[in-house]
Amino acid sequence: MSSVLIVDDDPGHLRIYGWIIEAAGYRALPAPACADGIRLPDEPVDMVLLDYHLIGSMSAVEAAKKIQARFPEAPLVLLSDALVLPEDIAPLVQGFVRKGNPAVLVETLHRLLKPTP
């Protein structure tokens, strides 16, 4: 089963997106962002969902670079309330999903994750 790392500073968003991911047939791995940064898992992940507005001193761009250094093969999808993909992070992501749109999120998961037998 493919795993999806969810990086967000809101515990409610981690739960909600975890449910959506698991209902779509994937394994959700929450990674809470905090003032100290983000704690990434030791195990490999197949895809990463990253919130754009993180608390603390780490920006989404810095978080994306850290995530890509750790999981270079995992597609990175930005989650945001923004109407369009922010320009500063656009070169680092393979997808953009507006928060509150679970159908587009599931479609993006299916499009970017390779099916597992």
Q: Give the predicted TM-score (pTM) of the model.
A: 0.91
Q: Domain for residue 10, yes or no?
A: yes
What's residue 61's pLDDT?
93
Q: Domain for residue 97, yes or no?
A: yes
What's residue 84's pLDDT?
93
Q: For the chain, 117 residues long, give each residue's pLDDT as a single digit of tens.
A: 899 999 998 999 999 999 999 999 999 999 988 877 788 899 999 999 999 988 776 889 999 999 999 999 999 999 998 899 999 999 999 999 999 999 999 999 999 996 554
What CATH number is associated with residue 76?
Answer: 3.40.50.2300
Alpha-carbon span 95 to 117, nearest angstrom = 24
Q: Domain for residue 117, yes or no?
A: no
How many structural domains compose the chain? Answer: 1
User: What is the Cα 96 distance to its own chain's centre?
Assistant: 10
Q: Domain for residue 81, yes or no?
A: yes
Residue 74 CA neighbour count, 13 Å, CB half: 24
- Domain range enclosing 27: 3-112
What's residue 115's pLDDT?
57
What's residue 4's pLDDT?
97
